[in-house]
Structure 1
Amino acid sequence: MPVIARHLMILGRVQGVFYRNWTVETASGLGLAGWVRNRMDGSVEALVQGEADAVAHFITLAQNGPPAAKVARIDATDVPVEALNGFEKSPTA
């Protein structure tokens, strides 16, 4: 299965609800690599990379996120695959 990468902008009530921790746990569990961070505008940004089916499944799960989140929408963009290991939280941008 091909490896793909998606840049995600997750909008809604996604800060202060453990969305980043949920993302790290969920993405790692699916064998994905990448990062997640809060944005100053209140959104969450992520780069998710791995097998196409796992990335698609993650994006489906991310529509709900953790219980306290209320995701309005996710904007996903194809990006080039990078040499990444693991999934981590990054500082707010």
Structure 2
Amino acid sequence: MAEASTSPSGAQRVSAWVHGRVQGVGFRWWTRSRALELGLVGYAANHADGRVHVVAEGPRGDLDVLVAALRSGDTPGRVDLVVEDFAPARGDHATFVER
């Protein structure tokens, strides 16, 4: 993916679509825990097609760590593919939640 510019605060936003067996296995809770450990804000949400959409904001290095964790093989369930896109942070989240 192309390198996104940063917001004035230095924060960036990642939107990651996680494909695989990632619903009903504690994946959103696990993702929230990793994001909070990294100090990120955003959400993890189930979608009707079986994917989980992860949106997180924070420093680019921490976002890269989160995306690597999503691909690590240490997640609940089974991750087959993660498709991410980086953009400037919007600043519209106060914490990281499960939706």
Q: Please state which band the TM-score falls in when normalised by the shorter chain.
A: 0.7 to 0.9
Superposed CA offset, 1:47-67 (max 9, x none): 01101110000100111352x
Give 4+ residue runs of structure 1 displaced > 6 Å after superposition.
Answer: none
Q: Unaligned stretches of 5+ in structure 2? A: 1-8
Partner of 1:88: 97
Partner of 1:6: 14
Partner of 2:39: 31
Q: Which structure is larger by alpha-carbon Rg, 1 or 2? A: 2
Picking from 51, 62, 67, the partner of 1:54 is 62
> How many residues align structurally?
89
Q: Unaligned stretches of 5+ in structure 1? A: none
SS at match of 2:23: coil
1:20 deviates by 0.3
Select between 3-12 and 71-80 the one with higher mean Cα deviation: 71-80
Partner of 1:71: 79
1:70 deviates by 1.1
CA RMSD, Structure 1 to Structure 2 (Å)? 1.5
- CA distance in 1: counterparts of 2:80 and 2:57, whole angstroms: 22
